[in-house]
Structure 1
């Protein structure tokens, strides 16, 4: 397989580049000595690297070797999740644009760093473009996809109603059409629950930073249509989500899938029958929330998208009514289906999110009452906990806080303050404390919340803490990897993603956020003799077999888009 040989060659090259030539008591390899943002730093922004505890200073020189800045590191601190001790070295005083060499006395290796006014523009473009690469139904043409062009896969114009989703109007085996949408992750299936948080997050990014995203082009087929490219890409999935509603009763199918996961083949080679599987209350509520939110955001584009906002709101109301009549239809995986379940047995957060969005969009008094009933303190969002999305939307309308008599802004800022407090005291200068499946998305979502707090308050501590989260993602983490494909010196090369593995191209599709370290599954690569670190912040392997640490997912890329776009936009207007 391509990954085995290329992984070996990449590792060999990287080891040669960062030669083990560090004279310390433990003779650590150069790649362990320094953790840094491998993409770049803002000219006028915070700049931080992490040093192995046996080193105490860094020297920053220009490309001619002239010393620009000497920085002494802070005292060494132990970080339990990584099991190691590091020192922070802050070189924010360097406020000149350019490429610099970073040296560590006692370590005969140089690291190259970049300082610029726009260090992350290509990162956000790639993160958005990654969704294009995961499109179903259409061919990816070379003029848009470059090296990664491919044939169309999964048109989904012939989709069967599974027995679990059968009704009198649509009995088992009924053929329906449900085209468009993105592949959910490393597999070839589509899931409403995960699509809802993903699509909402992208729409939220567009709404919050419209001036920035309005002019950001990513070279997709819809470029030049008059719509922002981010919106055009998002609509490709939103239009699919709308097809997942049963027009006869308003219920929403939980997922569209084959019965089993495909092998690592290209999309057009996957010819298995496809099914819509089961309706669920979770899917109906997430569908309601997404489409109600979309209806108000799309009002600004009515001239180019006539009637779409009204259609989204009408669909949201139908799904809401179905959920009211079926409040406890939990998804149960049928025996003949083994693809992702996205099961959730606590729907309080879904009720709150759906009620919040429907109340904002329509003023529904019953929805208003349920917002109050299901309100709870916000938390870092994920597909299984979406309550904070409702609060984020409500906070866009300050007058609603008094009408609802809820401490929305107070509780939200308290959450952001808690995250900032952890960041300030963390040896790795990051807020994450629990490393679950998709831990890198936790970092991205925490950064997103901080940027929302920055929008609300104008307090720069939230912006600086969010930038630090991005530093983590781009290399200043315990593994030393830059976790966005296509970027960094120590790159992720072998993501658990069928097209990237099956296309015969060495480089993975760029712009995807790898899942990141965790201890959830330690045996996914055991057949390859791999042993994972026992420390959660280091338990990561860059291998295709590691679905637990190296898969990609649309709901992980969405907060990355928000985080990087928000940081870029805020830097432009600081």
Structure 2
């Protein structure tokens, strides 16, 4: 079928604007909402690429900057409609931030703000400490992690980090109003984004033991069936602490201190106290304490093969806050181990430069960001800066290998490929902050175009954004709440060549990577959502706007 793929939300007036055609057309036109032709141009033939399997033709209409609603037309095919305006992404930004509110656990939802997506209080009981004969612990609160109702320390820390580093680099994020309850502080009222992040920070503080270590996760023993959260009555378990979670929480609490100190001194000091406590535990426990699920338990494991990048992040974050050279020396001492891991045959959760990694599995990129924000001239900061710039240039080269301008290779289309893309877009955003370049911005823009519909599935991977936005996330509450549309702003995991679920395996095995996708609730390996797939998009949008 002849199709014209385009960003279904739209473009900023001065941005690069392209549509991709999967058929031969020499010319294209752009028509406004009245059907009037406003631009005519020639397509350029890119050819067939490995990731889409399409023989693509590109229609560049970047010269069109007049605000309005438009469609691209070529031969007898017409694209979805899109908008050009300065505020074209306002709703998108609102929605992707508001998602965290809908994912709140406990008794945190208010009908005034949740509307049709309100649910009753959930998971309010104390949690049993697995394998220990101690009193149950109150760990109520935070965000449900993904399609299930688990809450995980490393995943939560990474989502918080995406959002808080975003506020450090791009102050406009503090101005986004997405209609949640007010959170009062010393200086009056917290900005919405900080009020929402505080929900998760408060939960993560409950996950810290008296000795400073951090429980890896709190979940039921097995995943709940597809029921509303308030109907999940199974016993909650706190599973063992890990050095992974403890290091990530030390780093995140120190990062949070740098922001909340300007709003609430007592709260910020508590965060720093908890960060110190976690780091002291790391000092006393230099050997990695990794995590493996209890036998028979099937909730998210979030395993990592080492804790070097986690400890590096913690050291860099603590150094940025305190200036204590001990932390700088700790970070330096971890560099050889990180580089050795990078070169090893150990399975990894990343491609590219390890010092720019922003995922839950490898977090050294966050440490690099803390060094850059510290702003000193030293060996580690130079390593951080060079890593981001080198990686950004690598990504721009990859973007030239396909007709969509997408900085992805075949091997990037894994479980959560959209997060792989968003991590890359974060790298490009940081690099553009360090050394502004048009090619960085254009590659970010192409990535956003892909997420919002300019892909060979002709699908926007953000609910509620675009005429053909996906509608069937692997997410328990939206699957059973008897509401036709899921709440807006959810980011799908996206195409995945692994096809790990039964429904996904109905796709042809030789499908091009970009076509390894089905919008179906059963597709947990293609269409799940998570907090840390939303959070990097918030970061990227803050940098773009």
TM-score if structure 2 supplies the norm length?
Answer: 0.92
| Of 379, 400, 403, the match for 1:424 | 400
What pairs up with 1:3-82 in 2 under 5 angstroms?
28=1, 30=2, 33-82=3-52
Matched, 1:286 2:248: yes
The aligned counterpart of 1:552 is 529
228-237 or 95-104: bigger deviation: 95-104
The aligned counterpart of 1:194 is 155
Q: Secondary structure at the match of 2:389?
A: helix
What pairs up with 1:373-522 in 2 under 5 angstroms?
373-375=333-335, 376=339, 377=353, 378-399=355-376, 401-402=377-378, 404=380, 406-433=382-409, 434-522=412-500
Kindly provide the CA deviation profile for residues 94-142 of structure 1, in whole angstroms up to 9, marking residues without a partner as x: 111111232112x154542211111111101100100000000125333
Matched, 1:131 2:91: no
381-390 or 424-433: bigger deviation: 424-433
The aligned counterpart of 1:322 is 281
Kindly provide the CA deviation profile for residues 355-376 of structure 1, in whole angstroms up to 9, marking residues without a partner as x: 1111111233332112112235
The structure-2 alpha-carbon separation of the partners of 1:318 and 1:111, relative to structure 1 and needing over 3 Å to count, comes to: closer
Unaligned runs of 5+ in 1: 1-27, 167-171, 569-574
CA contact under 8 A between 2:421 and 2:447: conserved in structure 1? Answer: yes
Provide the C-alpha distance between the structure 1 equivalents of 2:295 and 2:134, rounded to a whole number of angstroms: 17
- Runs of 4+ aligned structure 1 residues displaced above 6 Å come to none
67-76 or 108-117: bigger deviation: 108-117
CA contact under 8 A between 1:532 and 1:540: conserved in structure 2? Answer: no
CA shift at 1:202, angstroms? 0.5
Provide the C-alpha distance between the structure 2 equivalents of 1:298 and 1:405, rounded to a whole number of angstroms: 24
Q: Secondary structure at the match of 1:176?
A: coil
| Of 181, 193, 212, the match for 1:221 | 181
Kindly provide the CA deviation profile for residues 484-516 of structure 1, in whole angstroms up to 9, marking residues without a partner as x: 011111121110000110101010121110000
CA shift at 1:530, angstroms? 5.9
The aligned counterpart of 1:18 is none
Q: Secondary structure at the match of 1:477?
A: coil
The structure-2 alpha-carbon separation of the partners of 1:532 and 1:324, relative to structure 1 and needing over 3 Å to count, comes to: same
The aligned counterpart of 1:332 is 292
The structure-2 alpha-carbon separation of the partners of 1:145 and 1:532, relative to structure 1 and needing over 3 Å to count, comes to: farther
| Of 233, 246, 257, the match for 2:209 | 246
Kindly report the root-mean-square deviation, in angstroms, between the aligned alpha carbons of the 2 structures: 1.9
The aligned counterpart of 2:268 is 309
The aligned counterpart of 1:145 is 114
CA contact under 8 A between 2:356 and 2:427: conserved in structure 1? Answer: no
When the two structures are aligned, how many residues end up with a matched partner?
A: 522
Q: Secondary structure at the match of 2:514?
A: coil
Provide the C-alpha distance between the structure 2 equivalents of 1:129 and 1:350, rounded to a whole number of angstroms: 28
CA contact under 8 A between 2:157 and 2:249: conserved in structure 1? Answer: yes
Kindly provide the CA deviation profile for residues 266-304 of structure 1, in whole angstroms up to 9, marking residues without a partner as x: 011010111110011111111111111111222222xxx
The structure-2 alpha-carbon separation of the partners of 1:291 and 1:379, relative to structure 1 and needing over 3 Å to count, comes to: same
Matched, 1:364 2:319: no
CA contact under 8 A between 1:495 and 1:544: conserved in structure 2? Answer: yes
The structure-2 alpha-carbon separation of the partners of 1:510 and 1:64, relative to structure 1 and needing over 3 Å to count, comes to: closer
